[in-house]
Each structure stands twice: as structure tokens, then as C-alpha cells.
């Protein structure tokens, strides 16, 4: 699965900062110093999971609907969800989940920090 678009989509979020956590083999995306997405490499060195934060009820609902959405890998399983890349989750839903994760984490920052990040 070509996931370059996922990297591009996450990187273009206002205030997004990308880094690579070598010991975890995760490409992390943060806003205001808080994680909103991670792309995790599998044992084969290929990107295998996209981990995103969602409201708990929505995460549970999506996990029931799609076998390729699982509780967050190495994360709080109530708030975080991992999507198996190359699975059967529609691109449109992935885009929506990425936006919701970003907005949820951004919304948890102080109003001052939010305005600073959004350039208001």
C-alpha cells in the first residue's frame, strides 16, 4: 500500500512536528508537544500501523465495524486506535480519523497555545 499520502496529510496540519523514535521504530506526529499520530514499522521494516487518538465511543464503534482497526498498539486502549495499513479501511475514513485525532489533541492544548499554532 502506498501510504505517502498519509505522511503528507499529517505533515500539513498546522503546527505539526514530525520525528522518528528509533528505539520504537515509530514516525511520530505531534502538535504543541503532544502526540496525535504515529506510523509504526513492523518487523519487516515496513510501515504497518497508523495509530490515532479518537473519542472512546467512536473508537469502540470503529473497531466493531472494521477488523483492521484495533486497540492502540502500545497506547491507552480506550483513547487510541491502530489501523492496519494495507487493510480494508477506506481512505476517506482514514482521512477523517487523522483529522479528528489532530483536532482532539489540539483541543486539549491551552487556548493561548491553540491560537499560537493556528496563527490567530
CA distance 106 to 42: 28
* Domains of the chain and any CATH numbers: 4-118 (3.90.1150.30)
Distances from the Cα of 107 to the Cα of 9, 12, 24, 48, 92, angstroms = 19, 17, 27, 28, 22
Question: What local confidence, expressed as pLDDT, does residue 77 receive?
Answer: 86
Residue showing cell 491551552: 110
pLDDT digits (tens, 9 = 90+) for 52-109: 999 999 999 999 999 999 999 888 888 999 999 989 999 999 999 999 999 999 999 9
Indicate the pTM of the whole model: 0.93
Q: Above 70 in pLDDT, residue 1?
A: no
Q: Is 46 helix (H, G, I), strand (E, B) or coil?
A: coil
Residue 84's DSSP bridge partners are 49
Amino acid at each position: 500500500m502506498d501510504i505517502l499520502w498519509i505522511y503528507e496529510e499529517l505533515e500539513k496540519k498546522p503546527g505539526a512536528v514530525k520525528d522518528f523514535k528509533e528505539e520504537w521504530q515509530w514516525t511520530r506526529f505531534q502538535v504543541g508537544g503532544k502526540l496525535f499520530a504515529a506510523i509504526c514499522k513492523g518487523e519487516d521494516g515496513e510501515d504497518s500501523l497508523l495509530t490515532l487518538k479518537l473519542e472512546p465511543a467512536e473508537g469502540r464503534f470503529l473497531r466493531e465495524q472494521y477488523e483492521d482497526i484495533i486497540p492502540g498498539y502500545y497506547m491507552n486502549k480506550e483513547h487510541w486506535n491502530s489501523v492496519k495499513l494495507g487493510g480494508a479501511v477506506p481512505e476517506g475514513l482514514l482521512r477523517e480519523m487523522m483529522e479528528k485525532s489532530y483536532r482532539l489533541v489540539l483541543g486539549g492544548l491551552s487556548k493561548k497555545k491553540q491560537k499560537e499554532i493556528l496563527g490567530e
